[in-house]
Chain A
Amino acid sequence: MIDSKAGSGTSRREILGLGVGAASLLGGLGSAHAQTRSAVPPQKPRGQVIAGISQEPTVFNPLMPGSEVDQGVWWQLFNPLWSIDPQGRLVADLATEVPSVGNGGLSADGLVWKIKLRKDVKWHDGTPFTAEDVKYTLDLINTPGFRVRNRVGHSLVKEITVVAPDEIHWRMESAYSPYLSILALTFIVPRHILEKAQDPNTAPFNSAPIGTGAFRWGERVAGDHLLLQANPTHHGEGPYLERVVFKYIPDLTMLYTQFRTGQIDYLGLSGISAHFVKEAQGLRGRKLSLSPTAFIEHIALNLEFVPFADKAVREALYLGMNKQARIEALYYGLPVPTESFLPQQSWAYDSSLPAQRHDPAKANALLDAAGWASGSDGIRQKNGVRLEFANSTTVGNPGREQSQQLLMQDWRALGVAMRINNMPGAVIWGEFWQKSKFESVMVGSNFMLGNDPDVTPRFSSKAIPAKAGSGLNTYQYQNPEIDRLLAEGASQFDQAERKATYGKIQKIIRDDLVLLPIYQTVMAEGIKDGLQGFAANINCSSNCWNMRSWFWAS
């Protein structure tokens, strides 16, 4: 094992300490946490960790469309140029430093990028990693026939030049600051393997990948588990474990049961169901980490649906919603109420947004003033339009289904009729959601791009799929001021300036009530006693991001 000499100059121990501190911070909220005692990582990789997950990882080419579970595996097999630590800082990985205007990596106008790479990195097959691999990765992403996840930011990259084996330059078509964050989630793939493939979409690499990560491919038993082995030539921190196993257990109750019986060491990614959390806290030899996630549970409103086009209706619905009761009764107080689409741990989060309060009297007054009069059946109407709508969510999600029942009660008290129209995941998230065929949907969404608050795909008027736009603005929200601010934020490189811009965006979205925010999700993850190094990281798609630092206390 090669000792770490990370680009930031931080030692292995310091990084480990940082991770431990961050985990304690993020896993706070009064929880007991796994990282409560100091321990020294072993000299050689030792033991294995079985991570229980409720979805099966199936996509192993990190440039192709994959779920968060797949990404949990990619973090072990591959490396990005830099990554984002739990505090939201960019930390060099395959690059020697994160480019900035200050260090000359970025030109003042943000158009020219100069990246210096590490010289001591090798692929799992022993081939040296070079700038050609980075060029190949960026070229592949932009290759028309390649089934890439997305080209956001990458499509702006032009004139890629390999200056030396350890240095690469490129020019951006326009300044785009979120690209730093996008690259932190873009894993570099090996040119020498993939360029030999007739079709990268079906290359053997996709089912037995070769990366630069702390773990290399072991075996996959489809429908059961995936085993990764320690990479002894890893360039960075760790690994301290001989093996990492991702064990697929689709049923959440069984997943928890196997954590309870000790068959799995770490229960993450999907987390422990809220109704098991209290019991899990009392289990001997197990610890819980209550990790905030970037997912914001909210009611998505289709603003083209006539009643929701009236801002008074949206305000009344929000005032009539008993948010805290829902959090307490259904989720055992775990989630955190929020007003923003950004997680509270984001550097761009605006904590000054007005807090919602449950005020049915004011909600009724608002609707009265807006001309929504009560009909003979107690349901309000205006100009012949009844204040009645459907709310949809995924079937088989007990928390959300119960939450809908409470919402029905809350809003019935305002003279608003809500109907429940739930569907299987494959149905609701198809055209129904994408083409805004819903009236309202209860959904949890991560609005961030890595740790970047750029929400152009969510709120730009050019991002409405139902109007042939390219994006995820399924709310059909249109506001020229928001469009202007989004463009401004994406071209700024100074974080303080960006924070101000995204603060304004959050205020407008909150004021317009484009969506009715309910809470920021907090995930309960289970860890077997003695497992060290776990560090929840809201900026990564998976808390498995640093398994290279995990080890068993001796």
Chain B
Amino acid sequence: MIPFLLRRLWQSLILLAIVSMIGFAILYLAPGGPMSQFAQSAQMSQEDLDRIARQLGLDRTLPVQYWDWLLRMLSGDWGRSFRDNSPVWSVIGSHLRATFELMAVSTLIAIALGCWIGILGAIRRYSIFDMVATVGAMVALSIPTFWFGLIAIYLFSVQLGWLPAGNRQTIGDGSFLDVAHHLIAPALVLALVETAIWARFMRSAMLDVIGQDYIRTARAKGLPEQAVLRGHAMRNALLPLITLAGLQFPTLLGGALVTETVFTWPGMGRLFLDSVEYRDYPVVMGILMFSAVMVLLGSLLADMLYAVADPRIRMG
């Protein structure tokens, strides 16, 4: 296990270095820049813009800026946001909780509902339930999340007044019930798409498994159908889903850009969008590196879980 982990760590560091170089180059070479937000102000001349750019270190060459950023990053200093001058790590940290809250709830709903629909669909293949679930999943995957979000807001907030039209909590309240009330609509909208993905994966995995010889053997030796499904089929069908779970892991902290925007949810997705829009280079790079680490961690976690779940797989 330890040699495996060390090898993965080494590979991860190389990957992170490549990601940082490509990300930095794309970001800084893209047209426009952080100064453009002030360019229309009558109060700021070109001289002022040049001076501020110099003070932010933006007048240096790209390799020099990258090297400076890298050295500071390695020493634990992620830099400061161009927008509010806060340390990047604290900017990211302040958005993590909101994102985790939303993503964890929606993912839990999606896994529970998606697995149930997938399993049932596979067992009752080509039944009305299976067909409805298949069509439903296709619809959920085809229609953009923002549309579902807008419909949910129009229906449940504007027309019925049951749910708030966005926000994470009522300012000045923030009790568990208040937060839960605000969480319902965005979590369900986000879960809708995720449920469809999990249902399709689960159905496919179950269909693969229930056609295997060992399932036929289990049935032949007289095991009850429930025991066959639970003990043999489901357990094996869950294996490919570990990969999916590993891939989903980064999104738990990476945020959902569209849903967070529609529901005014102050999470990582919106932070990323705002930071790109304002060309807040330090924050964008911080999010990029954070997401890259999460992807690598998710992948590593999936590999380890695979080994735990399937004794045939050995790491080394």
Contact = CB atoms under 8 A, between A and B. Distances in A.
B43 A429 contact: no
B212 interface: no
Interface stretch (B32-40, B123-131, B217-225, B288-296): B32-40
Interface residues on B, range: 35 or more
B85 interface: yes
A245 B278 CA distance: 23
Contacts of A449: 42-43
A147 B171 CA distance: 33
B84 A443 contact: no
B168 A425 contact: no
Given A202-B80, A258-B165, A426-B36, A221 B47 contact: no
B200 interface: no
Which of the listed residues B30, B33, B44, B46 has the most CB atoms from chain A within 10 Å of its own CB?
B46
A225 interface: yes
Given A249-B264, A261-B165, A433-B39, A426 B55 contact: no
Interface string A424-454: 1111111011100000000101111100000
Interface string A442-486: 010111110000000110000101000111100000000000000
A174 interface: no
B171 A50 contact: yes
B12 interface: no
Given A67-B37, A425-B277, A430-B39, A261 B158 contact: yes
A222 to B, nearest CB: 4
B198 to A, nearest CB: 28
A170 B195 CA distance: 69
Given A56-B274, A225-B171, A261-B161, A430 B42 contact: no
B153 A472 contact: no
B86 A150 contact: no
B264 A429 contact: no
A251 B30 CA distance: 24
Contacts of A458: 42
A201 B56 CA distance: 11
Contact of B39 (A151, A251, A434): A434
A429 B32 contact: yes
Contacts of A263: 164-167
Contacts of B34: 426
A151 B43 CA distance: 9
Contact of A472 (B35, B42, B91, B274): B42
Contacts of B161: 261
Interface string B44-58: 111111001001100
B278 A223 contact: no
Contacts of A56: 83, 274
Nearest to A60: B84
Given A56-B274, A445-B40, A469 B46 contact: yes
B171 A207 contact: no
B111 interface: no
A254 B86 contact: no
Contacts, number: 172
B203 interface: no
Interface in A3-22: none
A251 B146 CA distance: 12
Given A145-B55, A222-B84, A222-B91, A427 B36 contact: yes
Interface string A202-246: 100011000000000000011111010000000000000001010
A243 B171 CA distance: 11
A149 interface: yes
Which of the listed residues A248, A426, A470 has the most CB atoms from chain B within 10 Å of its own CB?
A426
A250 interface: yes
Contacts of A433: 36, 39-40
B172 interface: yes
Interface residues of A, number: 63
Interface string B264-307: 10110011011001110000000000000000000000000000
A247 interface: yes
B3 interface: no
A251 B261 contact: yes
B266 A254 contact: no
Contacts of B94: 221-223
Interface string B146-185: 0000100100011001001111100110000000000000
A245 B262 CA distance: 20
B210 to A, nearest CB: 46
B48 A149 contact: yes
Contact of A428 (B36, B49, B165, B172): B36
Contacts of B264: 224, 248-251, 254, 258
A457 B37 CA distance: 18
A426 B85 contact: no
Given A222-B266, A224-B266, A261-B158, A470 B45 contact: yes
A239 to B, nearest CB: 17
B278 A426 contact: yes
A423 interface: yes
Interface string A42-72: 0000001010000010111000010100000
A424 B150 CA distance: 25
A429 B52 contact: no
A54 to B, nearest CB: 11
A257 interface: yes
Given A261-B161, A428-B36, A449-B42, 20 more contacts: A56-B83, A65-B38, A65-B52, A147-B52, A149-B44, A223-B98, A247-B167, A251-B261, A253-B150, A260-B158, A424-B277, A426-B37, A426-B279, A429-B32, A429-B36, A430-B31, A430-B33, A433-B39, A443-B40, A457-B42
The 6 residue pairs across chains A and B that have the minimum distance between CB atoms: A426-B32, A465-B46, A223-B266, A427-B32, A429-B36, A58-B84
30 contacts: A50-B171, A58-B81, A58-B83, A59-B84, A59-B85, A149-B48, A150-B45, A207-B85, A222-B91, A223-B267, A224-B98, A225-B171, A243-B172, A248-B266, A250-B270, A257-B165, A258-B167, A261-B157, A263-B165, A263-B166, A424-B32, A425-B36, A425-B37, A426-B32, A426-B37, A429-B39, A430-B35, A471-B45, A472-B42, A472-B45
Interface of A: 48, 50, 56, 58-60, 65, 67, 145, 147, 149-152, 201-202, 206-207, 221-225, 227, 243, 245, 247-251, 253-254, 257-258, 260-261, 263, 423-430, 432-434, 443, 445-449, 457-458, 463, 465, 469-472
